[in-house]
A and B are shown apart, each in its own frame.
Chain A
Amino acid sequence: MAEPAPLQLSKRRVTRRFPIACLLCALAALMLIPISSRLPAQTRPSQYDVEAAYLLDFGKFTQFSNDSQALRKATFDVCIVGRDPIGPTIDKLAANDTVENRAVRVLRDANASQARTCAIAYFNSHDDDLTRESLNLLAGADVLTVGDSPNFLKDGGMVQFVVETNHVRFAVNLDAVRKTHLVLSSQLLRVALYVEGHPKPEAGP
C-alpha cells in the first residue's frame, strides 16, 4: 500500500518549483484518464464506494430481531435519507448481494417515517439538521443508523464513518444500539475504530 501523506507533500513541492512543467504533466494525465478509467482494477475506490460496500456488510454483522419491521418484508431495505452520494455503487452491489437471505432494495429520498421500516438508514453529512431530526424520530426503532457526519454518534446515530489517513473506518455508539433490539456482532465491533457506550447488560453470549 502506498503511503499517501508523503506523496502529497512531494506533489506540493513539485508544483511550487515547476508550475509549467506540472501543468503539462497534468494535461498529459488528463488525456490519460479516460483510458485508465476503463481499467477497473487499477482505480482506487472512492470514500463513497467504500461506504456503500460497508453499508451492506454492516447489515451482515447485525442481528435483527424477528419482530422488527425490516424482517417482515421480503426484501432487505436500505434507505438513503437526504442526499445520495453512494447511489451508483450501492445499486451495483445490491444487485449481486443478499442480506438475511433477502434481496437488497435501495430506497432513496426516504423520510424518517419511511426509514423506520428499513433495516438500514444511511445519512449523508450534507445536512446535519435533517440528520439530527431524523435520528430523533428513529430513536428506539430497530433500524441500523449509519452516517458520515462528524457528530453522527453524538446526535444518536449508531455507526459513523471516519476517514483516517485516507482510510475509511467506522465507529460505533453502543448506547444508541442498546435502545433497540439490534445486536451488533462482536466481530464487527472488533474492527471498529472505536466504540462508545456500553453493550446491553443482559446481552447473552
Chain B
Amino acid sequence: MSIWNSRTISGKLTRINLLMSGTALVLAYISFLAYGLYTLRGNLISSLTAEASIVGENSVTALMFDDRQAAQATLSALQSSPQIQWAAIVRPDGTVFARYVRNASNPPELGAKLAPGQKVGHWQRGQGILLASRIEFQGKPVGEVYLLAATADLARSAIEFGIISAGILLLCFLIALLATSAFRRLLTEPLNSLAETAQAVSRERDYSMRAKTPRSGDELAALVQSFNEMLDQIQERDRALETSRIDLEERVRDRTAELTTANKELEAFTYSVAHDLRGPLQQINNIGFLLEQAEDNFPTMPQTRALIDKLGSGTRRMSMLIEDLLNLSRATSTPLHRTPIDLSSMAEEILAGLQAEDSSRHVAITVEKGARAIADEGLIHVVLENVLRNAWKYTSKTPAAEIGFSYAEESAGPVFSVHDNGAGFNPQYADRLFKPFQRLHSQNEFPGTGIGLATAYRIVTRHGGRIWAKGKVNGGAEFCFTLPYVAEP
C-alpha cells in the first residue's frame, strides 16, 4: 500500500504534509535530544569540575597538615550534591586520604588515575562519570580529588527533555493538521468545486453551470477561469447550433406544409376533374343511346351505325378512365379502416365476375384458400381487382390461359401473389409498371388506362406493405404484395 493511495487531493496533501512535518520534527527532536544530552553531560562535567576544584581548594591545608577530619568534613559538604555518589581525596603517593560514600552499597573503585601534569580528567564508569582534579598549592601538587557522579540525573533529564519534545511534537502535529485544513480551503476546495462542476456538466449536459472562482488569484483561479470560459464558448456554440436547427426545422415544416397543400390541391383537382367529367360523359352516352334508337327506327346512312358504335366505345373507355382516376384519388385520400378480410374469397369473387363479363373465354383458375389479412376491405378489393383484371387482360391472347392466386407465410408476414402465363413484360422496365399512365404495351395490343397498378401501389404502400412484379416477355407475370399489420398501441 502506498501512502499516495488516497483518492482525494486533500488526503494526499494531508499525508504529505504530516509525513514531511513529522520527519522534520522527529529529526529535530533527535538532534535536540542529542544536543541536550551532550550539553547536559558537558554541564555535569563542568559542575563536577567546579565542585572538585572547591573541594580541592578546601582540602589543601588538610592535606598539607595531615588533617583527615577536616578533609572528611570538606567531603561531607558534597551531601548537598545528590548526583555525587562517591568522592575521595588522594595523596600524591596514591593513598586515599579521605573518602565520602553516599550509598553504602556503592563500590568505591578508583580504576583511573590522572597522568602526570594532567590537572583534570574524566572517565565513563558504567552509569556514572568519574572526574579527577589535581589539588595544587602554589603550583605544587598536594593531592587529587576524585568524584563519581551518577548519570541517572542525566537520564532523567533526557526523559524530561523527551517528554517536553514529544509535547512540542504533538503540538507541531496539531499545527500541521490545522495547516492542512488551511490547505484544504486554499487548494482543495476550489479543486473539488471545479471537479464537481466538471462532473455535473458532463453528466447533465448543462453548460450553463459555472465553477466558483477562488479569490486567491493564483494558477488555480486561472484554471477555473479558463474552464468557465470554455463553458462560455461551448454554450455559445450550442446556442448557434440550436438556432440553426430551429431555423432548419421551420424551413422543413414550411416546405412540408407547402407540399401537403400542393398535393391536396392536386388530389382535389384530380377528383373534381374526374367527378365533373362524369356528367357531360353521361350526356354524351345518353345522346349516343338516343341516336342508336333513332337509327334503328329511321336508318339514314350506312356509315351512321358504325359511327354510333365508335361513339359508344369511346364513352366506355372514357368512363373506365374516370373510374380509375377516382379510384386512384380515393386510394390516396380515403382514411384506412382496417378489418379482418379473406383475400382468397375476395379473389374468387372478382375472378367469377371477370368470367361472367366474358363467358366465351376458358381460363384455368386456381385460388389458394385461407389468405387473410387485416386491412381496408374496399381498398384491398381495388388492389386485387386491378391485379386480377390485369392478369385476365394479358392472358386474353394465350391459348391455354392460367391465372392463380396464392400466398406464402414468411417471417415478416404473408406474401400474396397473383400469377399468370400471359404476355408478361420486359423485366428491365419492371419499375415503370407502378407509375401512373406508364404502359409497356400499346393501346391496340392491350387496351388500358395505365392507372390500375399505380392505384394498387399506392394502396399497398399506405398499408405499410410492398408490391413488386416478376416476369419476362411472353413468359407470364407474377405480382406479389405484402400487407403487414402492427397493432396500434
Contact = CB atoms under 8 A, between A and B. Distances in A.
Interface string B24-63: 0000000000000000000000000000000000101110
Given A41-B93, A60-B137, A60-B138, A187 B66 contact: no
A63 B137 CA distance: 16
A164 B385 CA distance: 169
A57 B138 CA distance: 11
B93 A191 contact: no
Given A41-B93, A61-B61, A191 B67 contact: yes
Contacts of B61: 61, 185, 187-188, 190-191
A170 interface: yes
B137 A190 contact: no
Contact of A190 (B66, B70, B138): B70
Contacts of B58: 187
15 contacts: A54-B64, A57-B65, A60-B137, A60-B138, A61-B61, A169-B67, A170-B65, A187-B58, A187-B61, A190-B61, A190-B62, A190-B70, A191-B62, A191-B65, A191-B70
Interface string A47-71: 0001000100100110000000000
B180 to A, nearest CB: 65
Contacts of B93: 41
Contacts of B60: 187
B202 to A, nearest CB: 94
Of listed A60, A188, A191, residue having the most chain B CB within 10 A: A191
A168 interface: yes
A60 B70 CA distance: 19
A29 B64 CA distance: 32
A185 to B, nearest CB: 8
Interface of B: 58, 60-62, 64-67, 70, 93, 137-138
A17 interface: no
A185 B138 CA distance: 15
B66 A168 contact: yes
B138 A167 contact: no
B383 to A, nearest CB: 148
Contacts of A54: 64-65
A60 B137 CA distance: 9
Interface in A59-104: 60-61
A43 to B, nearest CB: 13
Contacts of B64: 54, 57, 191
Nearest to B58: A187
Nearest to A96: B140
B58 to A, nearest CB: 8
Interface in A183-205: 185, 187-188, 190-191
Nearest to A50: B66
Contacts of A41: 93
Interface of A: 41, 50, 54, 57, 60-61, 167-170, 185, 187-188, 190-191
Nearest to B65: A191
B44 to A, nearest CB: 28
A184 to B, nearest CB: 11
A96 to B, nearest CB: 10
A187 B93 CA distance: 23
Contacts of A169: 65-67
A22 B93 CA distance: 33
Of listed B62, B65, B70, residue having the most chain A CB within 10 A: B65
Contact of B66 (A60, A167, A185, A188): A167
Nearest to B95: A1
A50 B67 CA distance: 13
B88 to A, nearest CB: 15
Contacts of A50: 66
A61 B67 CA distance: 15
Contacts of A187: 58, 60-61
Contacts of A190: 61-62, 70
A160 B289 CA distance: 197
Nearest to B57: A187
Contacts of B138: 60
Contacts of A61: 61
Nearest to B62: A191
B143 to A, nearest CB: 13
A170 B67 CA distance: 10
A60 B63 CA distance: 14
Closest 3 pairs (CB-CB, A-B): A191-B67, A187-B61, A191-B61
Given A54-B64, A168-B66, A191-B64, 16 more contacts: A57-B64, A60-B137, A167-B66, A169-B66, A169-B67, A170-B65, A185-B61, A187-B58, A187-B60, A190-B61, A190-B62, A190-B70, A191-B61, A191-B62, A191-B65, A191-B70
A41 B94 CA distance: 12
A19 B1 CA distance: 99
Contacts of B62: 190-191
A134 to B, nearest CB: 25
A164 B93 CA distance: 23
B145 to A, nearest CB: 16
A92 B65 CA distance: 19
A110 B36 CA distance: 66
Contacts of A170: 65
A49 B60 CA distance: 19
B75 to A, nearest CB: 14
Nearest to A57: B64
Of listed B58, B60, B93, residue having the most chain A CB within 10 A: B60
A185 B57 CA distance: 13
Nearest to B138: A60
A168 B58 CA distance: 20
B91 to A, nearest CB: 11
A187 B58 CA distance: 7
A169 B65 CA distance: 7
A41 B64 CA distance: 17
A50 B65 CA distance: 9
Contacts of A168: 66
A191 B61 CA distance: 7
Contacts of A188: 61, 65
Of listed A57, A169, A170, residue having the most chain B CB within 10 A: A57
Nearest to A188: B61
Nearest to B67: A191
B358 to A, nearest CB: 169
